[in-house]
Structure 1
Amino acid sequence: MRRIKKVSVTKYIISYLIGLILALSLLMILFVSILADRVIYYDIQSMLINEALKNNRNVRFEDGVIKPDEDFRYEDDGMYFQILSENGTVLLGESPKGLETFDEEIHQRLRTVVSDKKEFYIIDRINRRLTKTVGHIVYNRCIVSKKDADSKYHYIKYIAYASIPVFLLFVLGAGIVISRKIAEPLKQMSKTAETIGKEGELSRRVEYDGRITELEVFTETNNRMLARVEEMLENQKRFSSDVAHELRTPIAVLLAQCEYAKEYAGTKEEFDEAINVIYRQSKRTNTIITQLLNLNRLENGRIVLDLENADLDEMIRSVCDEIEFKEKECVRFELKLSGVKANLDIGLILILLQNLIQNAVKYSPAPATVKITTQYRGEAVVVKVQDFGCGIKEEDLPHIFDPFYRVEKSRNSEGFGLGLSLAYRIAKVHKGELEVSSEWGKGSTFTLIIAGN
């Protein structure tokens, strides 16, 4: 694979600027050349017309003849003036040397003519005052040597060409300054990132107080990414610690009971009791491992949904019946079901419903009352599980779906802190949402929203 040569931001921008400047130089030389010629052309045309008009005031028509006044100029500073008849006959005026025998049709635009290897600018304009007096069209003609006229305007091209390198040097200098201003915060960001990488200080953040919006957005994005990485690592550490703690307790009990059964169980009853404890703790350990495996599969997208059209109301009734059978008289369900159906994975949604409903019973004072409602909201199905227990404190709400997070800080409380996390991810793989609202001391409501049929 071809390796691309790396360069600094400053060199990268300057290299592009040099290429751009070379291209601009060629374009500007071409543009200035064309523009200068056009400017000179129109300026000479305007000058000749104005001079001819001024000289026109010094001509009169008297006794059927066009006569010049004493102020009439036949030649002035290299410009020659003539009065022409309608057919081009010279009625008054002189021609410059080399153009005495020149005879050309009248043309009212500036043009260049060649006579005796000399070039001249010529322009004709209608003399409206004499035309009105004489009764037929009379023209003013103004002639000037092209060489003499152009020499007066050469400075325009010189100034234009001289301004090109000045302008390009200014662009290059401005580019260098701008590139350094852009590169400086990037270098600082790079140093900070390198320090974070070497020292592992994820709590550090990149700072930028400049005025470039893109760099500010980049800095904010980078800092959010660092915060997210820091949070993920902290969650991973806490998760590992929680897993170790949750598994250590039942394993310690298992080892203790095995040792007791081996060393101290003297009767069949004592031995059976030890076996029962081992069995219960083995089930507890198996439950933790199963939930962890399910959670891992859901988070890594390794579960393929077995979707089918299911009656959510019937699933809720079956979960409630199972809990009522276990809890006897300690729970009462208020069901307000609307006959909702949805395409879902029955096995996963049953796990979700069991976790939500068991959680509501667990955190409600006996006899627990749990209210469950279902309804359609547009094309979506909404399931609400409401309890009237202790509720959840506001500071606990953002973490309620985190693995191993429990409202009670004591690890001796019943449960593993995986149920709500598992339920949340089951809702997500169904492209749904699991929301919670709660008021401390009054109870909580969990709302499941998934697509209906």
Structure 2
Amino acid sequence: MKLLIVEDEMIIAEDMAESLRGMGYEVPAVVPSGELAMAKAAEIRPDLVLMDINLQAGMDGIETASRMRDNFQIPVIFLTAYADSFTLERAKQAEPFGYLIKPFEERELHTAIAIALQRHQAEEKMRQALQKEQYLAELKSRFLAMAAHDFRTPLTTIQSSTQLLEHYGHKWSEEKRHIHYNRIKNAIVSMTQLLDDVLMVGKEEAGKLDFNPQPLDLQGFCQEIIEEMQQGDQNSHHILAEFSGDCEGAIMDEKLLRHILTNLLSNAIKYSPPGSSVHFQLQCQDHQAIFQIQDSGIGISTEDQKKLFEPFYRATNVGNIPGTGLGLAIVKKCTEVHQGTLSVHSEIGAGTTFTVVLPLGS
């Protein structure tokens, strides 16, 4: 544990530092003023600060402790020769983790430090749990809003096509009936994908995202994904595939890899003009599989790229193009589970290239 001592009587400070080192604590710095304490805290990020209240120059210990709490969330124990009610009331405002009256015994100091560190750890765990709870509550709220919107369209499609087939299907040609059957099928696929995405995000947030790497025919698997995407797109775009290197011996989680590739290919198709090409490249080298999906679509601004992998975030230039903002967050999580890397290169109006690098074997 790193401790920072703020004491303007250097003989006392050095003696205290020596005692603390003897107790097993690390004391990388002793400073005599509040200003130096703030600078040193920013540099070394101590676990605890022992702060004299009555500092002679600049800020006193109470003001310094308040700033340290606000800026760094570092716990502080006050050391002072004053026990009057006025000083105590002022000290309370800084929310210290301890208050020792000089002179104090080494045992008292050790006890105060141990209690302060334990309390800080408990509060930090509580703070993180609260942040997690707030995040999950926000995630749930955003999902409900998204589901209400994004489920309505495919459900409406299914309802209208079903009703039309029910009343007029017997009068239509086989070709016209087939159009409506395809509309229903595509709507179901859209809803299934949405549910899969939400379940994937939920599992990851709950820490229950399974990772089951198995031997995989990587090139064959990629070709299968490409064919599925090409059929689902009804050949409105051309997916040009290129494979190179020796991909034998690949060991990956097929379900997670499917999420990665389908989401990236789906986005490439969705944000590219009809008739354009999407380039898919798989290169195996140096025990790595390098996937690149490149489109010639609308592109992503530099500002949007900073938040691109956050759940529910969508780029500002997508307009009326449908989407949930979950796909890239899922790609990132699945890549991280594989201990891989994900990067993006894009310019507005000049297309986007996503690169995923995964370990080829276990």
Q: TM-score range by the shorter chain?
A: 0.5 to 0.7
Q: Does 1:187 find its partner at 2:85?
A: no
Query: In 2 relative to 1, CA 182–271 (structure 1 residues): closer, same or farther, beyond 3 Å?
Result: farther
Instruction: Note if contact 1:251-1:281 (Cα within 8 Å) is conserved in structure 2.
Output: no
Q: Does 1:352 find its partner at 2:352?
A: no
Query: In 2 relative to 1, CA 335–193 (structure 1 residues): closer, same or farther, beyond 3 Å?
Result: closer
Q: Deviations 1:264-311 (Å, cap 9, x if unpaired)? A: x899428999x9999977765554333112112224431231111223
Q: CA deviation at 1:256?
A: 8.4
Structure 2, unaligned runs of 5 or more = 20-51, 74-93, 95-127, 171-176
Instruction: Note if contact 2:304-2:316 (Cα within 8 Å) is conserved in structure 1.
Output: no
Instruction: Note if contact 2:238-2:277 (Cα within 8 Å) is conserved in structure 1.
Output: yes
Instruction: Note if contact 2:53-2:60 (Cα within 8 Å) is conserved in structure 1.
Output: no
CA distance in 2, matches of 1:251, 1:450: 33
Query: In 2 relative to 1, CA 13–177 (structure 1 residues): closer, same or farther, beyond 3 Å?
Result: closer
CA distance in 2, matches of 1:398, 1:191: 26
State how 1:192-271 maps to structure 2 within 5 Å. 239-249=139-149, 268-269=166-167
Q: CA deviation at 1:235?
A: 6.5
Cross-structure match for 2:31: none
Query: In 2 relative to 1, CA 253–271 (structure 1 residues): closer, same or farther, beyond 3 Å?
Result: farther
SS at match of 2:147: helix
Cross-structure match for 1:371: 279
Cross-structure match for 2:289: 381
SS at match of 1:376: strand
Cross-structure match for 2:228: 322
Name which one, 1 or 2, has greater alpha-carbon Rg.
1
Q: Deviations 1:360-413 (Å, cap 9, x if unpaired)? A: 111111213111222234332211111112211222111221212222567853
Instruction: Note if contact 1:400-1:406 (Cα within 8 Å) is conserved in structure 2.
Output: yes
Cross-structure match for 1:404: 312
Letter in 2 for 1:298: E
Cross-structure match for 2:44: none
Letter in 2 for 1:448: V
Query: In 2 relative to 1, CA 412–377 (structure 1 residues): closer, same or farther, beyond 3 Å?
Result: same
Letter in 1 for 2:236: C
Q: CA deviation at 1:432?
A: 0.6
Q: Deviations 1:74-110 (Å, cap 9, x if unpaired)? A: xxxxxxxxxxxxxxxxxxxxxxxxxxxxxxxxxxxxx
Cross-structure match for 2:334: 426
SS at match of 1:305: coil
Cross-structure match for 1:295: 201
Query: In 2 relative to 1, CA 326–432 (structure 1 residues): closer, same or farther, beyond 3 Å?
Result: same
SS at match of 1:396: helix
Q: CA deviation at 1:187?
A: 3.5
CA distance in 2, matches of 1:448, 1:325: 24
The one of 210, 217, 227 equivalent to 1:311 is 217
Query: In 2 relative to 1, CA 281–400 (structure 1 residues): closer, same or farther, beyond 3 Å?
Result: same
Q: Deviations 1:209-260 (Å, cap 9, x if unpaired)? A: xxxxxxxxxxxxxxxxxxx999989976764453122111256679989999
Q: Deviations 1:12-54 (Å, cap 9, x if unpaired)? A: 999x949959x99xxxxxxxxxxxxxxxxxxxxxxxxxxxxxx
Q: Does 1:340 find its partner at 2:247?
A: yes
SS at match of 2:143: helix
% identical aligned pairs: 22
Structure 1, unaligned runs of 5 or more = 1-8, 25-173, 195-205, 207-227
Which stretch shows the higher mean deviation, 393-402 or 300-309? 300-309
Letter in 2 for 1:296: G
CA distance in 1, matches of 2:158, 2:234: 34
Instruction: Note if contact 1:323-1:358 (Cα within 8 Å) is conserved in structure 2.
Output: yes
Letter in 2 for 1:348: L
Q: Deviations 1:137-173 (Å, cap 9, x if unpaired)? A: xxxxxxxxxxxxxxxxxxxxxxxxxxxxxxxxxxxxx
Instruction: Note if contact 1:340-1:374 (Cα within 8 Å) is conserved in structure 2.
Output: no
CA distance in 2, matches of 1:382, 1:258: 39
Query: In 2 relative to 1, CA 186–435 (structure 1 residues): closer, same or farther, beyond 3 Å?
Result: same
Instruction: Note if contact 2:146-2:324 (Cα within 8 Å) is conserved in structure 1.
Output: yes
Instruction: Note if contact 2:53-2:61 (Cα within 8 Å) is conserved in structure 1.
Output: no
Query: In 2 relative to 1, CA 270–192 (structure 1 residues): closer, same or farther, beyond 3 Å?
Result: farther
CA distance in 1, matches of 2:358, 2:201: 19
Aligned length: 257
SS at match of 1:442: coil
TM-score under structure 2 length normalisation: 0.56
Query: In 2 relative to 1, CA 280–399 (structure 1 residues): closer, same or farther, beyond 3 Å?
Result: same
Letter in 1 for 2:328: L
Query: In 2 relative to 1, CA 445–229 (structure 1 residues): closer, same or farther, beyond 3 Å?
Result: farther
